[in-house]
């Protein structure tokens, strides 16, 4: 059985973080994964949550029965700039303290860094991991890593190698469905990637939304100006609004008996947020159980 969580990203502009738990309950979810927002942990910034915020979130959990299952912070802890890296490690320390206060025991995050200085960024990531390992272990919190577009590592196989190299039971891997074509450089072999992570004993979480293959049709699925600009465009669409091979994804997850967290992370469709999130919950419940 999997835990299906809602990433309430599309509701942050219209309600408090605590109220997104009430929205999740209204939609039928029992868990949330809190992605970056201003109230809690914004991208690359020191977390702004205080004791009152934690109390309000704890009350919302009790009132709704919806649990904060995971957090998804993004801190540039692989920055080639050492002062920036140290600041981001400080952000991590505070985030882990807050996670412990909420009794959140699973966190998913990204490698970050600079893909144009990949070797230096990899060195910095290992340095940050060495500094933060005692903190993760003191709190008993597991970390699940994903390769994200424009991180210093964008490919599945390389990211899994990095995760395995830490050689700690508490660090795992998160497969992000909308990044399928970035993770595979356009191949789209989701089943193989999911299976290799599972076979390594590292598959702990799956992010669910759709996206198009940026490599096909001369690379013109996305048009960026000027051509060759140093950016990576990707999408988090509703299931079916893209080219992710969902039959392969779901069959492989069943084949490997996946029993971790599945997070619905559809972004950019605020006007259809309720419709798309409810449809995703129904599909995941049908395919994977809950």
Distances (CA, A) of 290 to 29, 235, 281: 10, 26, 9
Burial of 17 (0-12, 13-18, 19+ CB in 10 A): buried
Are 44 and 75 contacting, i.e. CB atoms less than 8 angstroms apart?
A: yes
Label each residue of 242-272 as H, E or C: CCCCHHHHHHHHHHCCCCCEEEECCCCCHHH
Distance CA(61)–CA(21), nearest Å, equals 7
Q: Report the chain's mean pLDDT, rounded to a whole number.
A: 96
- Please state whether the predicted TM-score (pTM) of the whole model is above 0.75: yes
Per-residue pLDDT at 220 exceeds 80: no
Burial of 134 (0-12, 13-18, 19+ CB in 10 A): exposed
- The whole-number average pLDDT for the span 13-33 is 98
Domains of the chain: which residue ranges? Answer: 3-288
**pLDDT in the model for residue 223:** 79
Q: Does domain 3-288 have CATH number 3.40.190.10?
A: no
Are 143 and 136 contacting, i.e. CB atoms less than 8 angstroms apart?
A: yes
Confidence of residue 232 (pLDDT cuts 50, 70, 90): confident
**pLDDT in the model for residue 290:** 64
Please provide residue 172's backbone torsions phi and psi, each rounded to the nearest 5 degrees.
Answer: -130, -165
- In the beta sheet, which residues pair with residue 146? 110
pLDDT (tens digit per residue) in 76-124: 999 999 999 999 999 999 999 999 999 999 999 999 999 999 999 999 9
**pLDDT in the model for residue 222:** 78
| Angle ∠(70,15,239) on CA atoms, nearest 5 | 55
Burial of 218 (0-12, 13-18, 19+ CB in 10 A): exposed
Q: Which of 69, 127, 51 is nearest to 264 (CA)?
A: 69
pLDDT (tens digit per residue) in 244-269: 999 999 999 999 999 999 999 999 99
Per-residue pLDDT at 288 exceeds 80: yes
Query: What does DSSP say about strands 203-208 and 261-264: parallel, antiparallel, or unpaired?
Result: parallel
Q: What percent of the chain has pLDDT over 90?
A: 91
Confidence of residue 176 (pLDDT cuts 50, 70, 90): very high
pLDDT (tens digit per residue) in 112-170: 999 999 999 999 999 999 999 999 999 999 999 999 999 999 999 999 999 999 999 99
């Amino acid at each position: 059985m999997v835990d299906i969580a809602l990433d309430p990203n599309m509701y942050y502009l219209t309600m408090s973080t605590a109220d997104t738990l009430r929205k999740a309950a209204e939609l039928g979810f029992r868990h949330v994964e809190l992605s970056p927002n201003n109230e809690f942990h914004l991208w690359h910034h020191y977390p702004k949550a205080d004791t009152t915020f934690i109390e309000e979130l704890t009350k919302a959990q009790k009132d709704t029965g919806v649990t904060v299952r995971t957090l998804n912070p993004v801190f540039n802890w692989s920055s080639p700039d050492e002062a920036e890296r140290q600041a981001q490690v400080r952000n991590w320390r505070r985030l882990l303290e807050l996670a412990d206060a909420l009794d959140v025991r699973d966190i998913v995050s990204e490698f970050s860094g600079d893909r144009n200085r990949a070797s230096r960024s990899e060195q910095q990531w290992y340095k940050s991991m060495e500094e933060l390992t005692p903190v993760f272990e003191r709190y008993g919190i597991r970390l699940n890593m994903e390769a994200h577009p424009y991180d210093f590592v964008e490919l599945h196989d390389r990211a899994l190698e990095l995760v395995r190299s830490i050689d700690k039971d508490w660090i795992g891997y998160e497969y992000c469905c909308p990044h399928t074509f970035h993770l595979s450089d356009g191949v789209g072999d989701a089943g193989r990637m999911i299976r290799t992570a599972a076979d390594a004993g590292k598959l702990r979480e799956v992010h669910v939304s759709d996206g198009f293959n940026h490599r096909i049709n001369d690379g013109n699925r996305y048009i960026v100006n000027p051509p060759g600009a140093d950016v990576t465009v990707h999408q988090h669409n509703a299931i079916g609004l893209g080219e992710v091979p969902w039959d392969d994804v779901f069959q492989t997850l069943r084949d490997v008996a996946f029993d971790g967290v599945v997070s619905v992370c559809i972004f950019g469709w605020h006007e259809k947020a309720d419709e798309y999130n409810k449809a995703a919950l129904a599909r995941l419940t049908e395919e994977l159980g809950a």
